[in-house]
Structure 1
Amino acid sequence: MFAENKLTEDMAEIQAFLRAERAKSLTEAEWRFRMRGYGYNLRRTEAGVEVARLPQNQLVGIFAI
């Protein structure tokens, strides 16, 4: 999916993008909403935040906060 305006499958780049976008958001709900706009679905689990690609909801990886 897209991170920083380029197509990537690299989880490190996606995590950097998620961190930057989280810093711009006031709440976690706003952050999740923003990420849906970029094509990512975020779901909090015990292991961290699952990152899935939309619209297939295909798991990309787990983002430990």
Structure 2
Amino acid sequence: MAQVICRNAVEAPILNLLMRERAMAVSAREWHFRLAGYGYAIKDVAGAQVVTKLPQNTELGVLPVQIH
């Protein structure tokens, strides 16, 4: 069975949280740790960074390039 890849953009409230946490984090590693505290993760899928909901690993959308 093939895995369906989510290609929509992340919703605005979640994107705002991601951007706020990225601004407060010193490094990308800290940013990922902070996001895990909110129940989110970022994974690389076919050259794009996809936001997922933990612990189900449900894909929520693709991050815009300027946030990486």
Q: Give the superposition deviation at 1:44.
A: 3.8
Q: Which one has the largest radius of gyration?
A: 2
1:12-64 alpha-carbon deviations (Å, 9 max, x no partner): 111111000000000001000110110001124523x2100011000011111
Q: Which has the higher contact order (CA 8 A, sep 6+)?
A: 2
Alignment of structure 1 residues 1-65 onto 2, 5 Å: 11-45=11-45, 46-47=47-48, 49-64=49-64, 65=67
Q: Which runs of 5+ in 1 are unaligned?
A: 1-9
TM-score, normalising length: structure 1 = 0.75
Is the strand fraction higher in 1 or 2?
1
> What is the identity percentage for the equivalent residue pairs of Structure 1 and Structure 2?
40
Q: Which runs of 5+ in 2 are unaligned?
A: 1-9
RMSD: 1.5
Give distance in 1, aligned partners of 2:24 and 2:54: 22
